[in-house]
Chain A
Amino acid sequence: SAVISQKPSRDICQRGTSLTIQCQVDSQVTMMFWYRQQPGQSLTLIATANQGSEATYESGFVIDKFPISRPNLTFSTLTVSNMSPEDSSIYLCSGGGLEAFFGQGTRLTVV
């Protein structure tokens, strides 16, 4: 199994600012994924972070709003840009082989 460390665990941010979330895996994984979990809802895939190429975004999510980096096989970042209160959510990263392991999530509140 893989252990995924995500930080920050929570943050309160002003609207219009940006926050970068970091995700570190304790072993190499080919793909990493970023999800959003809005209050009381399930997880929605934002994008797949590929090492050595641009991230692949799901419908409704764009690179300008959620830029992603994947510099190596153990690390990825997600930036939430120009935040508004609607971006208040839990953001989770995952990685692994056939089974996905998840970080503890970042609880973001935009005020």
Chain B
Amino acid sequence: AQSVTQPDIHITVSEGASLELRCNYSYGATPYLFWYVQSPGQGLQLLLKYFSGDTLVQGIKGFEAEFKRSQSSFNLRKPSVHWSDAAEYFCAVGARGTGNQFYFGTGTSLTVIP
């Protein structure tokens, strides 16, 4: 069965510091992988996605993520965090061939301190 694990429930970083949010998935084949961000009271905004090809993908707002098949991981990174990055981050797996049904991780809440 498909599943997504985000081991870190909450992360606190200083503004300007680097960030890495972890995501591990379980899926029988190569999935579609996504990172979404949710600000308080808002819907989900797509940060980046991986379908195939280059395993390092660039997204919006300076985020990037690397797909590592051997580790079943798709960690999100940002070299320098801004206060506006404080939000909830969700990793998701899109199951191929099921009409794009998504499975979400439990989310990582990011706090940015000045």
Interface of chain B residues 49 through 102 with chain A (CB within 8 A): 49, 51, 90, 92, 94, 99-102
CB distance from A96 to the nearest CB of B (A): 7
Instruction: List chain A residues, Cβ under 8 A from B44.
Output: 43, 92, 94, 102
Beyond A98-B94, A99-B34, is A33–B46 a contact (Cβ under 8 Å)?
no
Instruction: List chain B residues, Cβ under 8 A from A6.
Output: 43
Name B's interface SS.
strand
A100 and B102: CB pair below 8 A?
A: yes
CB distance from B32 to the nearest CB of A (A): 6
B43 and A42: CB pair below 8 A?
A: no
Instruction: List chain B residues, Cβ under 8 A from A97.
Output: 100
B102 and A45: CB pair below 8 A?
A: yes
CB distance from B8 to the nearest CB of A (A): 13
Number of A-B contacts (CB under 8 A): 58
Interface of chain A residues 1 through 35 with chain B (CB within 8 A): 6, 30-31, 33
B32 and A94: CB pair below 8 A?
A: no
Chain B 33-51, CB-CB to A under 8 Å as 1, else 0, gives: 0101000011111100101
A94 and B105: CB pair below 8 A?
A: no
Q: Which residue of B lies closest to A30 (CB)?
A: B99
B111 at the interface (CB under 8 A from A): no
B43 and A105: CB pair below 8 A?
A: yes
Interchain CA distance A104-B40 in the complex, whole Å: 11
Instruction: List chain A residues, Cβ under 8 A from B34.
Output: 99-100
B100 and A43: CB pair below 8 A?
A: no
B104 at the interface (CB under 8 A from A): yes
Beyond A48-B99, A98-B32, A98-B94, is A43–B104 a contact (Cβ under 8 Å)?
yes
Instruction: List chain A residues, Cβ under 8 A from B32.
Output: 98-99
Beyond A45-B101, A92-B43, A105-B43, is A100–B94 a contact (Cβ under 8 Å)?
yes
Interchain CA distance A28-B103 in the complex, whole Å: 23
Interchain CA distance A83-B101 in the complex, whole Å: 26
Binding site for A on B (CB under 8 A): 32, 34, 36, 41-46, 49, 51, 90, 92, 94, 99-107
